[in-house]
Chains A and B, each alone.
Chain A
Amino acid sequence: MFDICELCEPGTLAEAKAIYAANPELKVIAGGTDVLIRMQHGSLAGAGLLSLRNIPHLDEIQLLADGTLSIGAMAPFTRIFENELIRRLVPVLGEASVSMGGPQVRNVATIGGNLCNGAVSADSASTLFALDALLKLETAGGERIIPMRDFYAGPGKVNLLPGELLVAILIPREGYEGMGGHYIKFAPRKAMDIATLGVAVVCRIRENRFEDLRIGLGVAAPVPVRCFEAEAYAKGREVTWECVQEIARLALKPAKARSSWRASKDYREHLIEVLAQRAVAEAVKRGGGCCAD
């Protein structure tokens, strides 16, 4: 039994937006695998829930006319992992999707819920950060599209306006075309674990030079971060081992690792460098490059 005071189950997006506009104190629930667990631990006591489950088309994955990949916020992770478009165009997101939770959780947990929960450990977050994804947000009054980097306000807090719903995640063609990517989730076990660290890398290689490199880190700081210094360093440089190692060293810059039961600060920082190096090396390989010595 959950401490819920009401459950709203609108059948259309318009209805959902209207209810949310009139009742902005409601808690939006998608797959439930974050919200209900938090309630089990005593948070959100007495909350009223706005469930998005019954809204059609909110879970669809499609390629828009201009080449933008649109992922419905209610798409569960199993669907994302198995989807043809994702596998073909942005497999690194599939990698992140299959790394979270276990099969039963992935069958129900949604990418939108994962993002809006604001947890810095969200496996999709660091990946979407690296992909420069855009988020389509709608209210009863209108819509806006914001980049991922503007979505996180602080630990566990996201920049959603009152009455605003995340409707889709958009990855523009420039975000995925010709990219090689790799996501590494580091956790004590190989299943069912929250990430101790998440590293997502996408890169575009041309003539064995970094034409573009983007690195997203999860759990390295209070919010997911991009490693801009490392990315700036890489731009235009030839792909060599020294280069990759320097990128990894610079990847530490935005990190503000904390000690917790999961790992000490020293260990985390050590991991960031090591895993950034591995993720970059693998992303380079998938992008058609080669780390010569």
Chain B
Amino acid sequence: MLTKNTAGVKARKRLCMTVNGRAVEIEIDIRESLLDVLRDRLQFTGVKQGCSVGECGACTVLLDGTPVNSCIYLAAWAHGKSVVTIEGLAQDGQLTPVQEAFVEEGAIQCGFCTPGVVLSATAMVDSGKAFTHDEVRRELSGHLCRCTGYQKIVDAAERALREAEIAADEHPV
């Protein structure tokens, strides 16, 4: 299907997706990135813009559960998909175990990389897989952080994985 641009008219498209569990239906400009739509149209300012070229990971969101850089993802492609931003993790102000781990381990300094890296850590925990220390570092390597030297971020992710493993043992599905 063609969404063609005529002179002076910005090409539009109807976008239906789920964001943080709620259905969203808006008309978007086909030129918009998912980041543009999330921040500027839907006011999810928790999704950050650090570089616009998919290098720093600050714009990371979960797309059908998978971490992607929203700055180089066309908004149009999110049609029919589920998007989770940092705002979608806590329920009624209750932090998730991953969020708690980040706060308590001191993994947050300036906080600008935090939303993205918390989402990647959440995807790791949700996958149910086990990760070695090196694999944890690799899974988080798409997030540039200038404040922490990554140490406490890795500690927080490992703590969240350990806690999830224990919880799974206690409540097998």
Contact = CB atoms under 8 A, between A and B. Distances in A.
B120 A103 contact: yes
A117 to B, nearest CB: 13
Contacts of B76: 7, 9, 51
B105 interface: no
A192 B141 contact: yes
Contacts of A8: 1-3
Contacts of B29: 1
B141 A103 contact: yes
Interface of B: 1-5, 11, 13, 29-33, 36, 52-55, 57, 60, 66-69, 72-74, 76-77, 120, 138-144
Contacts, number: 99
Interface residues of A, number: 32
> Interface centre among B5, B30, B138, by most A CB within 10 Å?
B30
A27 to B, nearest CB: 13
A7 B3 contact: yes
Contacts of A4: 11, 30-31
B31 A104 contact: no
A4 B13 CA distance: 13
Interface of A: 1-11, 19, 32-33, 36-37, 40-41, 48, 51, 53, 78, 101-105, 107-108, 190-192
Contacts of B2: 6, 8, 19
A32 B52 CA distance: 13
A37 B33 contact: no
A10 B1 CA distance: 5
B26 to A, nearest CB: 16
A104 B66 CA distance: 8
A11 B89 CA distance: 33
Given A8-B1, A107-B67, A107-B68, A2 B74 contact: yes
Nearest to B60: A104
Contacts of B141: 102-103, 190-192
A37 B30 contact: no
Nearest first, the 7 closest Cβ-Cβ pairs linking A and B are A102-B142, A191-B141, A7-B30, A36-B72, A104-B142, A5-B5, A103-B142
B158 to A, nearest CB: 16
B103 to A, nearest CB: 23
19 contacts: A1-B29, A2-B31, A6-B4, A8-B2, A8-B3, A11-B1, A33-B54, A36-B33, A36-B54, A40-B53, A41-B53, A78-B66, A101-B54, A103-B139, A104-B54, A104-B57, A104-B67, A108-B73, A191-B138
